[in-house]
Amino acid sequence: MFRNLTLPRRPPSFAHSPRIPGKIRSLIYYDAFVPEDGKAMVDCMEAANRAHYEAGRDADRLLEPIPMAAFGVTDPAVLDFVTPRIGGQPWRTFFEPVPVSPDIASVPQTYILCTEWGIPSPMTRFVPVMEARGARIVTIAGSHLSMLTEPEETLEAILATP
């Protein structure tokens, strides 16, 4: 039934995995936050970075998108294509607690880490968590949005997952 299921990459996608652990062939975490059971994405953030998200929550409004340049996306052709398609994100997606199945390690997992953000990647701290789960770690020398800046490498990394 779920043979070719593709889950979205935003945090609520993690919530589906404990409900169908025997029916998922594999999980791919693309430069993602990896919350502990019952924690939300904001719980994984450093305190200095939470203010933006808390302000959106407190005002009950969509969160403004982070500028593409912050992720290393500077190619004018890519920006012309992407910019009109970017919108705000509901604050609740960052505050929703995520259930994690106790047998999550039984599902083959790959963690794709993008290493060229222009700033130190906040995602590197999740590599040990994923290694403890037995995940395959793949690095892409690209930004958090490597699907835009390094599309071929991103596609190769995804297609090479078990």
Integer Cα distance of 65 and 37 in angstroms:
27
- Indicate the pTM of the whole model: 0.80
Token pair 């604050």 is found at: 91
Report pLDDT digits (tens) over 147-158: 988 999 999 999
Mean pLDDT, 10 residues at a time, the chain of 162 residues:
42 49 81 90 88 94 88 88 91 92 85 87 91 93 89 91 79
With a pLDDT cut of 90, the percent of the chain lying above it is: 44
CA distances (Å), 2 to each of 17, 19, 23, 25, 139, in order?
11, 12, 6, 9, 27
Report pLDDT digits (tens) over 71-80: 888 889 989 9
